[in-house]
Homo-oligomer: A and B are copies of this chain.
Amino acid sequence: MAVTSRDVARLAGVSQPTVSRALRDDPRVSEDTKRRVRESAALIGYVPSEAGRALSSGHTRRIGLLVTDLDNQFYAHIIAPVHQELERLGYQLMLHTESVDNETVAERLISNGLDGVILATTTVDSVAPLRLRDRGLPFIYFNRTASFVPADATTAAPTAGFVAAATAVRDLGHTRIGAVLGPSNTSTAQAREIALRAALADCGLRLEQDYVRRGPFNTVSGDEATTSLLNLQRPPTVIFCGNDVVAYGALNAARRGGVIVPDDLSVIGFDNLPAADWPIIELSTIAYDLVGMARAAAGLIVGRIENPGSEVSHVEFETAFIQRGTLAAPMSR
């Protein structure tokens, strides 16, 4: 059924290895032979077998991208640029999720003949880094930093964004500050919390314990946490959210509860996803070059694969605050 390089060889009147070399543009093959081989290959519709190639060469030019959850808009948005950049570099993307247990995920990553893995999951306690390291399979962290196992990483440095946001919040006269933070076992949530608290402190503001909620980085969680904050006797007038997706949930909670944004409640996100700029959302948020970060991740893993000895690098993206409709001076006292 399948057309093999041997079939092409027979047709072109050369040996099978010559076909292999000709199609990969090996300089040792004459131009004339290359042309003949290419023509023969095209004629019978030859397409090299990935399996054969992988088994023989030991690599697949295939990169795994492990994400927590595909329903999440954040992950949905990074897939495209990672995919695109990998394509440009001559690699293919293989998507993996954490839908099964920890060990099984690691095993799948290993057994799939991947050349490298981008870990875009946030949880610190995953076994994947350990297993991948033991197996000698290159990997990098996306939007998180190393836990126990060091590796290249891309992150957004939250400080600058939060400093600007906290300043804006103070200048508008907010004093009751709320926060819906990400899960505390993620390096991302930890870094953002530290930066947020420091920025607020610099502005003479404080994040009271009662005004803090924590939960996964998704919309439903943001909705519930915000509902809980709005039910307080003296609810916060502004809520910093772990990321934009959480902030969408905060906006939903406010709308459902008849709380007017931004008059009664201001909301601030993190990530500046495309929808944050939609006229029907107008989310104030901490922005950074997410697409660039995704591209950088693709570059990092490919670099790690093709240049294994290179020093471990941490690519940080600067953040900035973007003020939109969801932030204004508090109207109620």
Contacts and interface: CB of A to CB of B under 8 A. Distances in A.
Interface of A: 1, 45, 47-52, 54-55, 60, 69-71, 73, 76-77, 79-80, 83-84, 87, 92-95, 97, 99-100, 107-108, 110-113, 134-136, 219, 248, 251-253, 255-256, 274-275, 278-281
A199 B108 CA distance: 49
Contacts of A111: 47-50
17 contacts: A48-B111, A49-B111, A49-B113, A51-B55, A54-B54, A55-B55, A70-B83, A71-B274, A73-B76, A76-B76, A83-B95, A87-B100, A92-B94, A92-B108, A252-B278, A280-B280, A280-B281
Contact of A113 (B45, B51, B110, B135): B51
Given A92-B112, A112-B50, A248-B278, A71 B60 contact: no
Given A1-B136, A55-B55, A252-B280, A79 B95 contact: yes
Contacts of A60: 51
A113 B50 contact: yes
Nearest to A252: B279
Question: How often does this chain occur in the complex, in copies?
Answer: 2
Nearest to A257: B279
A47 B112 CA distance: 9
Contact of A83 (B55, B92, B97, B108): B97
B71 A77 contact: yes
A77 B275 CA distance: 16
Nearest to A70: B80
A256 B325 CA distance: 12
Contacts of A134: 45
Given A71-B274, A83-B97, A94-B94, 10 more contacts: A51-B51, A73-B73, A73-B76, A76-B79, A79-B95, A87-B99, A251-B279, A252-B278, A252-B279, A256-B279
Contact of A95 (B47, B69, B95, B281): B95
A275 B110 CA distance: 35
Contacts of A219: 278
**Which of A100, A256, A278: most chain B Cβ within 10 A?**
A278
Contacts of A280: 248, 251-252, 255, 280-281
Nearest to A97: B83
B47 A107 contact: yes
Contacts of A80: 69-71, 97
Contacts of A252: 278-280
A71 B81 CA distance: 9
A176 to B, nearest CB: 23
A135 to B, nearest CB: 7
Contacts of A95: 79, 83, 93-95
